[in-house]
Amino acid sequence: MTRFLRQFAVLVYASIGLALVFTSAIAETPFPTIHEPADESAKCIHPEDEMRRNHMNYILHERDETMHEGIRNEPASLANCIDCHVKPDDKGEIANIESKEHFCSGCHQYASVQIDCFQCHADRPQKYIKRDKRTSSLTQDLQQALANNAGVNK
């Protein structure tokens, strides 16, 4: 009888332990950060569920038409996505693609799907990017190079 009781107690402790493990696991399950569009009055070009599944196909198809044929009225445009969906937070800070707070990264980091778009494309709307006039350094370099070249030519 004592043996049975002991076994029962072990079972009870084990189940409590297991339950605790599962609860904490659920609490730690990561969820994607889903961001609302900046302009909530604007309608997306397709319903939300369609865009969640197929946004990449729309963009891929139309990028070739734009690049090679100069068709620029395409409804699916990466620039338009960014314009509508990426916005500054309450402090006026705007997240770049590296941050989970960026509209695209919220899900993409969660799903571990790497996106290459923003290695070349602007990841924030132009109106929010503060640009210092860094081009002047290139100009100075250029002038230096020109001066060197001129020396060679003469």
Judge whether 37 and 84 are in contact, CB under 8 Å: yes
Q: Which stretch binds other proteins (CB under 8 A): 6-14, 29-37, 67-75, 102-110?
A: 67-75
Question: Should residue 114 be labelled a site residue for other proteins when binding is judged by CB under 8 A?
Answer: no
95, two tokens? 């997240």
Q: Which of 2, 73, 112, 114 binds other proteins (CB under 8 A)?
A: 73
Q: How far apart (Å, rounded) are the C-alpha atoms in residues 34 and 31?
A: 9
Query: Is the distance from CB of 115 to CB of 104 less than 8 angstroms?
Result: yes
Does 120 bind other proteins (CB under 8 A)? Our answer is: yes
Which of residues 28 and 69 has its CB atom nearest to other proteins in the complex?
69
Question: Cβ atoms within 10 A of the Cβ of 106, count?
Answer: 18
Per-residue tokens: 106: 């919220």
Which 131-150 positions form the footprint of other proteins (CB under 8 A)?
131, 134-135, 137-139, 141-146, 149-150
Burial (CB count within 10 angstroms: exposed 0-12, middle 13-18, buried 19+), residue 147: exposed
* 152 forms part of the interface with other proteins (CB under 8 A): no
Choice from 33, 46, 62, 99 touching other proteins (CB under 8 A): 46
Q: Which residues bind other proteins (CB under 8 A)?
A: 43, 46-48, 63-65, 67-73, 79, 96, 119-123, 126, 129, 131, 134-135, 137-139, 141-146, 149-150, 153-154
